[in-house]
Amino acid sequence: MKQLYFFTIAFFLSLAGFAQTDSIEHKVNALVQKMSLDEKVGQLCLKGTSSRSKGLSDELKDQVRKGLVGAILNLTDTALVLQIQKIAVEESPNHIPLLFGRDVIHGYKTIFPIPLGLAASWDTTLIEKTSEIAANESYSRCINWTFAPMVDICRDPRWGRIAESPGEDPYLASIFAKAYINGFQGNNLAEPGRILACAKHFAAYGAAEGGRDYNTVSISQNTLRNIYLKPFKSSVDAGAATFMTSFNDLNGIPASGNTFLLKDVLRTEWKFRGFVVSDWNSVTEMIPHGYCTDEKDAALKAASAGLDMEMTSQAYAHHLKTLIAENKITIAELDEMVKNILRIKFRAGIFENPYFEGREKFALLDPASLALAKSAAIKSFVLLKNEKNILPLTVQKKIAVIGPLANAPKEQLGTWIFDGNKNDSQTPLTALRNMYGTENINYVSGLTYSRDESQAIFDQAYKAAKKSEVVLFFAGEEAILSGEAHSRADIRLPGAQEELIKRLYKAGKPIVLIIMAGRPIVIEHLLPYISAVVMAWHPGTMAGPALADVLSGKENFSGKLPVTWPKTVGQIPIYYNHTNTGRPADSTSFVGIKDIPIEAWQSSLGNTSHYLDAGYTPQYPFGYGLSYTRFTYAKTTIEKNTLTKVDSLIVTTTVTNTGNRIGTETVQLYVQDVTASLVRPVRELKAFAQVELKAGETKTVRFAIAVSELGFYNNEGIYLIEPGTFNLWVSANAADGFKQSFEVK
């Protein structure tokens, strides 16, 4: 009876869904029929105002009045937004409201950790909540479209945009993509407080050569599909309203003119129903790329490839009408682009609610939002080293607080902060003074900013260290050293930070290194000077209280690395889910540079794939992170060792907290397809679970993974699940665990 009841409800809900889709299609078609050619082209134009600009030009108002604009970005004065919206709604020929876009990447006013930091929490519910708050705050300021989430997989920490990324793993990135989109859009885009999400940058932007931004991407179809496209597919499945193309070319064709990506994959295969926007000028940048002769050619190639809306450059505005007159673009093609945009405008409810009604109920920097920002920061921190359990600081009375990031309210916010305000930031220095008493904190910045080369205040810093029991050194990168166009070839601590650490070491006090940065930082050569290392990323508004809580032991660490941490820049790219060579490196055969005799006979040494001087292992593997307690894994049980393609792999493990305080462990499940028709990664993350365990407590963790999830795409784009042996590990990180195996028939 109950079942019948649910069935009936589900049936009517799905009918309602169809009815809504039908009525939207009806409205879209009716509207397009009434629109002039100029107005149609207008819908495809996203006009930029600079992120700092104030005011509305008469030219823009006039264009909106004539229906020549579909959306505006970076207009942040709410009065101006409402003013221009009124012109669109009341004066433009068909009264079509505008979309207002903005880069709200990890919070609007309440700034959460940078996305790479949020990824280190491995907490999808948390990510969803942070993006919901970001959406609510944005909506309250008349923004209805964010250019997020950025779901580019990145295997190169030199690339500045790794800070915005979900890290290196396609599974993790895919579930985070869904969480971000759910948080921004909710179940109903038209609900006040929800905003359109934009999955970006489509596609493979994170594979830019050498980590140089905007650079060439040349990868096989199997790497593209098995690694880089996965989070985008997940974004379509999660209902992302919009997609943004990337700046790079993919195997020779710039993404904004790439028919394979935009039509074959996105529309035909994945059935995407939203619209695709270009990146900033990426349509006309196809000219310097060497793919288009001029602006008109760029408009033709972008439109033919399936790019719906052009951001800031004006190739569509200037040339689409001529291209139609010349029969190079058909009216049907143009209508399709316009409909893609209007469909989303209707779904977002902006025809009914163009003036952001209900926005007053969403407060900026609400206490609950700040509490969430603090807990997000705590969950993002990764404890990388803790020699002799120097942390938590429970016995020390006098603490030296040193370093350029200890009291840097702007820098702790990280990259892509257009609207975050440094005056809202709570810094580590203030929080530690509050916690331990100002008289117990000996603060000297030592360096005034991260790139500072001056040693003028080193002596003072040394004295502060000398009269303290422990040194908390807040190191890292200013916010501007990561993010777009901020790649670095040398990813050690910039400025004279290393020199300062070495100087402080001479004071003979243990040093705790807290890194705030947009990427992993090379620290191998510094480790001998340092007792503990905390990766804090750029933690956002609540960095200070969050750090004070974990350093003092009030809270525990639970973050795990979403990227492999290199020992040296020469190892990059280094990532856990690489494939094997015919000569895989291992400890038994490895020969280091110091082990080679003088005038050694020509030989291939250890015969494996490694560096003589850097070996083959990273500093810290993917998935790694320590806690104030310890977790022990019991042997894993695989329910059925032989499975068919329609079965599920059922795996159970018990995990025990063998330390003496409560903690949360992220239990990771990795799989390897041992032999296949294409070489497969040595390990791939397929599932994980977070368990909170009290001291001494044991819990059973059960995983169920459909065998269909264990397949891969070949170079023809065909998805295969091949029979054979698979290895499996349930472990605390990607370099840990006992290997077991099972068969797929």
Nearer to ligand NOJ, 169 or 279 (CB): 279
Nearer to ligand NOJ, 103 or 452 (CB): 103
Show Cβ contacts of residue 438 under 8 Å, excluding neighbours closer than 6 positions: none
Q: How far is the CB of 154 from ligand NOJ (least distance, A)?
A: 14
| CA gap 516, 534 in Å, rounded | 9
Judge whether 107 and 412 are in contact, CB under 8 Å: no
Q: Does 147 bind ligand NOJ (CB under 6 A)?
A: yes
Nearer to ligand NOJ, 199 or 475 (CB): 199
Q: How far is the CB of 75 from ligand NOJ (least distance, A)?
A: 13
* Residue in 152, 249, 279, 549 annotated catalytic: 279
Q: Which two tokens stand for residue 716?
A: 């023809």
| CA gap 441, 474 in Å, rounded | 14
Q: How far is the CB of 197 from ligand NOJ (least distance, A)?
A: 12
Place of tokens 């596609």: 203
Using CB under 6 A, which residues numbered 537 to 596 contact ligand NOJ? none
| CA gap 722, 676 in Å, rounded | 7
Instruction: Give yes or no for a cis peptide into 566 (omega within 30° of 0).
Output: no
Q: How far is the CB of 478 from ligand NOJ (least distance, A)?
A: 20
Nearer to ligand NOJ, 161 or 560 (CB): 161
CA angle 24, 147, 319 (to 5 degrees): 70
Nearer to ligand NOJ, 279 or 555 (CB): 279
Q: Which two tokens stand for residue 126?
A: 């948390």
Q: How far is the CB of 20 from ligand NOJ (least distance, A)?
A: 29
352 membership: H or E segment, kind and range: none
Q: How far is the CB of 681 from ligand NOJ (least distance, A)?
A: 28
Nearer to ligand NOJ, 355 or 418 (CB): 418
- Could you say which of 200, 347, 359, 560 contacts ligand NOJ (CB under 6 A)? 200
Q: Does 279 bind ligand NOJ (CB under 6 A)?
A: yes
| CA gap 173, 115 in Å, rounded | 11
Name the CA dihedral angle for 679, 255, 158, 378, rounded to a multiple of 10 degrees: -90
Q: Does 333 bind ligand NOJ (CB under 6 A)?
A: no
Neighbour-count burial for 685-694, b at 16+ CB within 10 Å, e otherwise: bbbbbbbebe
Q: How far is the CB of 40 from ligand NOJ (least distance, A)?
A: 24
Using CB under 6 A, which residues numbered 90 to 119 contact ligand NOJ? 103
Q: How far is the CB of 280 from ligand NOJ (least distance, A)?
A: 4
Q: How far is the CB of 200 from ligand NOJ (least distance, A)?
A: 6
DSSP assignment letter at 491: -
Judge whether 204 and 219 are in contact, CB under 8 Å: yes
Q: Does 280 bind ligand NOJ (CB under 6 A)?
A: yes
| CA gap 662, 645 in Å, rounded | 40
Neighbour-count burial for 468-498, b at 16+ CB within 10 Å, e otherwise: bebbbbbbbbbbebbbbebbbeebebbbbbb
Q: How far is the CB of 400 from ligand NOJ (least distance, A)?
A: 39
| CA gap 74, 667 in Å, rounded | 41
Nearer to ligand NOJ, 200 or 538 (CB): 200
Q: Does 673 bind ligand NOJ (CB under 6 A)?
A: no
| CA gap 679, 743 in Å, rounded | 17
CA distances to 511, 522, 623, 666, 737 from 565, in Å: 21, 8, 10, 18, 19
Query: In 3-state terms, what secondary structure has residue 98?
Result: coil
Q: How far is the CB of 578 from ligand NOJ (least distance, A)?
A: 27
Residue nearest to ligand NOJ (CB): 147
Using CB under 6 A, which residues numbered 233 to 252 contact ligand NOJ? none
Q: How many residues bind ligand NOJ (CB under 6 A)?
A: 6
DSSP assignment letter at 398: -
Q: How far is the CB of 575 from ligand NOJ (least distance, A)?
A: 23
Nearer to ligand NOJ, 200 or 560 (CB): 200
Q: Does 419 bind ligand NOJ (CB under 6 A)?
A: no
Other beta carbons within 10 angstroms of residue 505's beta carbon come to 18
| CA gap 169, 150 in Å, rounded | 14
Nearer to ligand NOJ, 413 or 643 (CB): 413
Say whether 103 is catalytic.
Answer: no
Nearer to ligand NOJ, 147 or 243 (CB): 147
- Could you say which of 77, 333, 366, 484 contacts ligand NOJ (CB under 6 A)? 484
| Ordered DSSP codes for 103-150 | --SS-SSSPPPPHHHHHTTT-HHHHHHHHHHHHHHHHHTT--EE---B
Q: How far is the CB of 245 from ligand NOJ (least distance, A)?
A: 10
Judge whether 418 and 102 are in contact, CB under 8 Å: yes
| CA gap 283, 313 in Å, rounded | 7
Give φ, ψ of 70 to 5 degrees.
-100, -30
Nearer to ligand NOJ, 137 or 279 (CB): 279
| Ordered DSSP codes for 11-36 | HHHHHHHHHHHHHHHHHHHHHHHH--
Reported in sequence order, the residue ranges of 426-510 that DSSP labels E, i.e. its strands, are 441-444, 470-476
Nearer to ligand NOJ, 308 or 684 (CB): 308
Q: Does 486 bind ligand NOJ (CB under 6 A)?
A: no
Nearer to ligand NOJ, 280 or 449 (CB): 280
Reported in sequence order, the residue ranges of 308-427 that DSSP labels E, i.e. its strands, are 310-311, 382-386, 399-402
| Ordered DSSP codes for 173-241 | HHHHHHHHHHHHH-S-TTSTT--B-EEEEETTGGG-GGG-TT--B---HHHIIIIISHHHHHHHHTT-S
Active site residues: 279
Residues of the shown chain interacting with ligand NOJ in the complex, contacts defined by CB under 6 A: 103, 147, 200, 279-280, 484
